[in-house]
Chain A
Amino acid sequence: MFETGPNWRRDAAFGVVLIAVMIAIPFLGPSRYFIGQLTLFFIWATVVSQWNLVFGVAGIFSLAQMAIFAFGGFATGMMGLYLGISLWFALVLAGVGSILFSIIIGLACLRLRGPYVALLTLAIAQVMYLLIITDTACFYMEGVTCRNFTGGTRGLAKFGDFGFREMLGRREYLKGDYYLSLFLLVLATVFSFAIIRSPLGFAFRALRDNPEYGVSRGLNRFKYQLLVFAMSAFFTGLAGGVFAGHFRVIGANVLSLPLLLFLISMMVVGGLGRAWGPILGAALVMLADEGMKDFVEIRNMGYGALIVAIVVLLPQGAAGGLEQVWEWGRRQVLALWGGTGRLAARRGAAGEERRE
């Protein structure tokens, strides 16, 4: 939105508080499990924040995000393992490679609309999945053990990590991964906020709302579709690399359907196309998942119910709901303030109708 003065300040304030809390948490003596879960939260929220650009903001029903994530993860691991380069260097190269990979997917999707994009991108992910789990050829021998190029069903391992174990010791190394993922999420989120509120974000939303009208007002659909695929890939690929380095292994399971649904539900619960949606959605879905952990049988049903409930009751997602509460509160305060309140309230009412 162009009248972002107050919103930018509000969002920056929220952001700073959240970052401060996240930086402080490891010093409060949390369990290793808690730190591990938060690290995962940062990684998933990063992926969802970029997916949201394609799916929510640009309205392209691409399911390729986990394929790009896997590409980043495997590329990082393979470069570390086969080229023997530092995982940090491999990570950056993988991020750049992910952009190219995503542009190719974007090109393949160009002539397709709506559900066909979903089908094609899902097929790409499935092909990757099958290629990995059916990879049985010996790429190299480790002693008497035969190792596959992709790691096969066992997953790709032995490519090392980001060096936090060596630096911080076996007990503290998790904090290294924690801060690295937090840093990644902060960068990815600032990036997505900047895109969503810039003319580029408006171009994406315009072409989502009405492509025919959009091109008639000077928007080049080809260019902006490729751009959104390219832009959403870098941090997604990096997230894949950080994931691989964190677990010191990456396997085909990152391409599994349940994980894809897990991340889609984050995007939907948070609110499609909304700037705060991915973080809110990832937090809510991971909390719900935590709550349902002891009831394995109903877990998948639980997600289903959550998605249905959100879509029906709160189609703008949690971020949309909060935005409404915020605007309502602001109007109450301004009304109490006196005369100038009425004008501001009218603007607020208009603001409420709009999507981010």
Chain B
Amino acid sequence: MERTASEPLLSCQGVDKYFGALAAVRDMTFDVFPGEALGIGGPNGAGKTTLFDVISGLNPATAGSITFDGRTITRATPDRTCQLGMARTFQLNAGFDTLSARENTLIAAYFGRHNRLVPGMRFDRETQRLADEAMEFVGLDEVAHEATQTLPVYHRKLLMVAGALATQPKMLLMDEPVGGLNPQEIDDVMALVRRLKERGLTIMLIEHVMRFLVRLSDRVLIMHHGEKIFEGSASGLVYDKTVVDVYLGEGSSRRLRHLLEDQPSPDEGAPGAP
């Protein structure tokens, strides 16, 4: 990977987020390079979701600076960061519940790509094409006309990805994309993320399911109490004493080590047991 040669797509420098006295994110500094997948792990309440909120503009940073694609976005609103090419999914199932699945994606395709000063009278062809493409890519074309609120959890997770893709992002932030899914569904989402990487999309993903995280991430970043306690390769993770102590525990780090040894390349091979 010619990481050193290219500029980072996203760069966070000394980012803090305080809720009153609570430092939910503290002094986070890291880069994400084009085409890379950066995995974020850490215990509950570590500040992973808050980090996404800060980057995407939903909840602006208290201090520090964030640049994306050559622009400073530290104070940018979420609609703006979306239009600049950063799309995110949510930990909980978010969506426009009373609209159909396709309408959800149409809205993202129409408003998420660039600023609509004066919206038109109808969704143009290009918007419809992008929305249908995104629905097909994640495999939701069959349920496109169902009401969003009636969809099962798995479909709702995929719908968030479809909406994100329809905005034609450069970078995708996924917050626990497989939380609450069964092993088969986890494997399917894993295959989907691989296809996204093949398309050259830069990805940041938060996940507690470690086999998902280590298999898909080129690099891993572990947070604890708002701070970065580890940044490096997935294989280094299991040998890091702090990470094993505060997050993985002995048992799970041993299992993970086996998983990594069995499949030396994190980008191929059949998925094993969690």
Contacts and interface: CB of A to CB of B under 8 A. Distances in A.
A210 B95 CA distance: 7
Interface string A330-356: 000000000000000001001101110
Interface in A194-242: 194, 198-200, 202-203, 205-206, 209-210, 212-221
B50 interface: no
B58 A215 contact: yes
Contacts of B239: none
Contacts of B95: 209-210, 213
Contacts of A355: 98-99
Interface residues of A, number: 28
B145 interface: yes
B106 A2 contact: yes
Contacts of A351: 145
B111 A217 contact: yes
Nearest to B98: A355
A1 interface: yes
B17 interface: no
Given A215-B77, A216-B56, A216-B58, A354 B98 contact: yes
A206 to B, nearest CB: 5
B83 interface: yes
Interface string B88-116: 10100011111110111011101111011
Give the secondary structure class of A's interface. Answer: helix
Interface in B118-174: 119-123, 128, 145-147, 150, 163, 167
A217 B103 contact: no
Interface in B52-83: 56, 58, 77-79, 82-83
B147 A219 contact: no
Nearest to B166: A217
Contact of A210 (B58, B96, B100, B150): B96
A239 to B, nearest CB: 24
Query: For A1, A347, A350, which residue has the most chain B Cβ atoms within 10 angstroms?
Result: A350
Contacts of A200: 119
Query: For A206, A209, A218, which residue has the most chain B Cβ atoms within 10 angstroms?
Result: A218
A277 to B, nearest CB: 14
Contacts of B119: 198-200, 203
Given A217-B108, A350-B145, A354-B100, A210 B94 contact: yes
A218 B84 CA distance: 10
A209 B145 contact: no
Contacts, number: 111
Contacts of B147: 350, 353-354
A209 B98 CA distance: 7
Interface residues of B, number: 41
A206 B79 contact: no
Contacts of B167: 217-218
A215 B82 CA distance: 8
Interface in A292-339: none
A215 B122 CA distance: 20
B58 A219 contact: no
Contacts of B112: 217-218
A295 B113 CA distance: 58
A281 to B, nearest CB: 19
A203 B107 CA distance: 7
Contacts of B100: 350, 353-354
Nearest to B110: A199
A215 B83 CA distance: 10
Nearest to A217: B108
Query: For B100, B110, B111, B146, which residue has the most chain A Cβ atoms within 10 angstroms?
Result: B111
Nearest to B120: A199
A202 B58 contact: no
Given A199-B116, A203-B111, A220 B77 contact: yes
B96 A1 contact: no
Given A199-B110, A210-B96, A2 B122 contact: yes
Interface in B163-194: 163, 167
Nearest to B124: A199
Contacts of B103: 1-2, 202, 354
A202 B107 contact: yes
A311 to B, nearest CB: 17
A217 B163 contact: yes
B96 A215 contact: no
Contacts of B128: 2
B83 A205 contact: no
A205 to B, nearest CB: 6
A30 B167 CA distance: 57
Contacts of B98: 205, 209, 354-355
A218 B82 contact: yes
Contacts of A220: 77, 79, 115
A209 B107 CA distance: 13
Nearest to A220: B79
B122 A218 contact: no
B153 to A, nearest CB: 16
A89 B232 CA distance: 72
B123 A216 contact: no
B133 to A, nearest CB: 16
Interface string A180-205: 00000000000000100011101101
Top 6 A-B residue pairs of the complex, sorted by shortest distance between their CB atoms? A218-B112, A350-B145, A218-B111, A353-B147, A213-B94, A209-B96
Given A210-B94, A216-B90, A350-B100, 18 more contacts: A1-B103, A2-B123, A198-B120, A199-B107, A199-B111, A202-B106, A202-B110, A203-B107, A205-B98, A206-B99, A209-B95, A213-B94, A215-B79, A216-B56, A216-B58, A217-B163, A220-B79, A355-B98
10 contacts: A194-B121, A202-B107, A203-B111, A206-B99, A216-B58, A218-B79, A220-B77, A221-B79, A354-B100, A354-B103
